[in-house]
Amino acid sequence: MPIARRSVLEGMLAAAASSFVPLPGRAQEATILTRPIPASGEVIPVIGLGSWITFNVGNDPVLMDECASVMAAFFTAGGRLIDCSPMYGSSQTAIGYGLAKLGMPKPLFSAEKVWTSGPDGPGQIERSRQFWGVPRFDLVQVHNLIDWQENLKTLMDMKSAGTLRYVGITTSEERRHDLLEEIMRTQPIDFVQLTYNVVDREPEQRLLPLAGDRGIAVIVNRPFQQGALTRRLRNESLPSWAAEIGVSTWAQFILKHIISHPAVTVAIPATTSVDHVRENLDAGRGVQMDAGMRARMASYVQDL
């Protein structure tokens, strides 16, 4: 069923900064905050779950069960969006295994990618769907701009036919932001996925404001620079004012900075740890930062 994206777009962004909607998580905790998808108004929690590297565990039964445990903790803590790609080795298989083991949790918001050149896009998406075991994907994105014109047409056709709810495009490379910007300006996409964090802030200049203007939901990948950022900060002290903003770890500091940007819809940290997935989801609870505090956070890290 096509979504009349422009009919619900107007005014949505202006309200985004104040449109956090609580979603039930663990009963004893504050609810996780949500953001609306501009195309539809549907809300999703601001913290999702990435699967790059962490869920590529091959046919290792112990690690498959660990992935399922991470997913169980994610859903229990109020998470919804899980992101994957055919490029991520066996991650799709691990996600499908976890979803089946957990009885296909209803809150799931499935975000996949198409990663191929030429006419195999529909076939690849169908294979991905079978790996996941879902009736259809909520979101499919063109992976890293690969053959983006052909693949975007495939996704738009699927959306028109009602076999896909949202269409998106991704990159994790700053040097490709010019092309990404052009696509955001000219194509009716629902989601864009890019890299943004407290040290990689180039998207603040053009892409995030553009997403706001165009009513495009933003998924933020590599929030921890694949772990490099948290490793770098591991031996540094959090600022003395960290407790005031509800932050007790560097991971929460980084995630709160990201999801507090009004144009960001959801950040997708990846982890193999149940404790870390809970910690990540906790960053989506409580007070969020205004522009002044976000600048202060970035400045603090820059000065370390």
Partner 1 sequence: MAEWWSYRPEDMLLFSPRVYWRMFELHNAAVWPLHLLTVTAGLGAVLLALGRAHGTARWVAFILAILWVFVGWSFLWLRYSTINWAIDYLAPLFLLQAGLLVIAGILPHALVFDRRHGVAGWNGLAMAITALFLYPLLALAFNWRQAEVFGIAPDPTAIGTLGLLLMTRGAFRLVLLPIPALWCLVSGLTLWTMEEPTAWLPIAAVIVTLATYMLPTGRKS
Residues within the interface to partner 1 (CB under 8 A) = 53-54, 56-60, 62-63, 87-90, 115-117, 144-147, 172-173, 176, 226, 272
Q: How far is the CB of 202 from partner 1 (least distance, A)?
A: 17
Task: Look up tokens 């004893």; give the residue.
Answer: 28
Do 64 and 97 form a contact (C-beta atoms < 8 A)?
yes
Residue 304: Cβ-neighbour burial (10 angstroms; 0-12, 13-18, 19+): exposed
Q: How far is the CB of 54 from partner 1 (least distance, A)?
A: 7
Cα–Cα distance for residue pair 117/136, rounded to 1 Å:
22
Please say which residue, 263 or 277, places its beta carbon nearer to partner 1.
Answer: 277
Q: How far is the CB of 296 from partner 1 (least distance, A)?
A: 31
Please say which residue, 19 or 144, places its beta carbon nearer to partner 1.
Answer: 144
Do 184 and 210 form a contact (C-beta atoms < 8 A)?
yes
Integer-rounded Cα Rg, in Å, for the chain is 18
Q: How far is the CB of 119 from partner 1 (least distance, A)?
A: 13
Please say which residue, 92 or 260, places its beta carbon nearer to partner 1.
Answer: 92
Q: In this structure, what token pair is assigned to residue 163?
A: 């076999």
Cα–Cα distance for residue pair 261/146, rounded to 1 Å:
28
Please say which residue, 60 or 178, places its beta carbon nearer to partner 1.
Answer: 60
β-partners of residue 167 are 140
Q: How far is the CB of 298 from partner 1 (least distance, A)?
A: 24
Please say which residue, 74 or 115, places its beta carbon nearer to partner 1.
Answer: 115
3-class SS at 63? helix
